[in-house]
Amino acid sequence: MPAYEITCINKPHHLSPHEHITHIGNVAGNWRVTVTSAINRINTGQATFYTVDQQTGAHIQIQVVPASGLRNAFLKTRPDGKWPDNLLAQQECGSNCQIID
């Protein structure tokens, strides 16, 4: 199964702590996918996604948090004791990152 490094994210307002991530992507590869597509790819075993800890070089796996009650499913990294979250700490995906859903 292919594994993709995530180096950027999109949120409606990038610095807002109250808004959810809408896309994840890779700046060097100039691509991004919707969170819905990433969740489907993870859940069906088509792909995995990870970030890289800039201090240790460790791959931090991105996982799906299932929907519960009124909350939709979402993505997060496995807890590693660091704040901010590895996924939320990524830069904004630019307009050069094409959606590949």
pLDDT digits (tens, 9 = 90+) for 74-98: 998 876 666 557 888 899 999 999 9
Q: Tokens 């700046």 identify what position? A: 27
- Number of structural domains, the chain? 1
* Largest interatomic CA distance in the chain: 37
Structural domain for 92, as ranges: 3-99
Separation of alpha carbons 60 and 12, rounded Å: 24
Take residue 21 and report the two structure tokens written for it: 């991530």
pLDDT tens digits, 14-53: 777 778 899 999 999 999 999 999 999 999 999 999 999 8
Q: pTM here?
A: 0.89
